[in-house]
Structure 1
Amino acid sequence: MQIPALLTGLQLTDSAFPSGYYTLSHGLEGFQQSRAVSPRTLPALLHDLLRHGAGPADATALALAHRAVSAGDWEQLVAVERRLYVAKLGRESRQAAVRTGRQLLDLAGEVYGTPEIERYRELYRSSRVHGCQPVVAAAVHAGNGVTARQAVTCELFAFAASFTGAALRLRLTDHRRAQVVLHGAAPVIEEAVEAALRRELADLGSCTPLADVMAGRHERADARLFAS
């Protein structure tokens, strides 16, 4: 990979990139409110969400959309985003994907301004896409020469980093232990990347029933620190 493309992937993964990830707990706050997670079980929860949630859904959508953008098949990209959107059963998860995706789209137009980003923006203006973050990210990565493998790896690492950051704010871990948890997720991220790159459109969709229940409870909580 060329150095400029690699730097783009790293920039988008950086927690300082203002895409709105810091407002999300990826369901963790729901687990914490229900006392269904502890510092000891935190790594297992992250691994499960990577394997059965973010990997089969968002990462798979990103891989498929990246493939579509690289081939110039924008109809296929629309099909990928539509399937991802309906696969998100909870209101919060759909809203989070769209809100962070629109923020990324706005920033990407200003920061990178590639033809791929502008083409996606045209689809968005015509209401053919919702602006789901993984699909927007695919257009950004592909437009900047980041390979599908690198793009999916970056996005799953960003998910894991955001999850552990939320755990810090929820006092489920400390800064040192958070790094241990994040490092321990590396083999699972690699596994999830490989699986995402092999899936087809019909395979897109997560299976995290307990997380869906916790998300539903979180929507009705009296007080919330995070948007999801």
Structure 2
Amino acid sequence: MRPLHRLLATVPLSLALLGLPAFAAEPQIRPLPSLRQQAEEQQAWLAERLTRVLPALMREQGVDLWIVSMREYAEDPVFFSMVSPTTFAARRRTVWVFHDRGEIGVVRWALGGGSQGGLFEAYRTPDPQDPRGELVGDEQWRALRRLVEQAKPKVIAVNVDPVHAFSDGLHAGEREELEAALGPELTAKIVRRPELPLRYIETRVPAMLPRYREIQETVHALIARAFSREAIEPGTT
């Protein structure tokens, strides 16, 4: 076994190879920015994940159309890695459609709910008498059918998987409604691609690393303080 001091001596080199600065002689507590600043930072991360990570994964998994459908307070696990930091729940029923259009990129449609800060194209009802313009009820399913028919996908991925919980977000009742809306011909194109939501959730982008590094340093600083004589008096504490 290598001595601990030699193992620790390799940490700065390892961090440098990862493009991360090594800890100072003593790790410092790095206060988090305001909630508003945190939201802006997280929104930038989300934009990068949707524009860089998602298209690559869809192509790797051979998926040209991905449907994520859920209801309020029964969200798909992937929901929380695809919404703005100021969005806390699905809107009644939220249906997302991701369509890979090749060189144009992956188009992101939201049928129900908002645009997540402009990252989705939020579909609205064509009814001029509706001041809200929000898709609800059967109109959502009709709009979904129109979108999918226009997209002419070869493969439609949905989140159903008996192994990975993070890939099994399409509830049974929601699946019945979805398949009824699509009809037999389009339903026949549905496939399971459990690695698509799973790997999207787990994948981080480089822009996240500096903040992760600061949080990690804060944790080390708190641990060092908690186990120091500043907080512990032998025989008393």
| TM-score after normalising by structure 2 | 0.28
Larger helix fraction of residues = 1
Higher strand proportion: 2
> Which is bigger in relative contact order (C-alpha 8 A, separation at least 6)?
1
Specify the structure having the higher radius of gyration (Cα).
2
TM-score under structure 1 length normalisation: 0.29
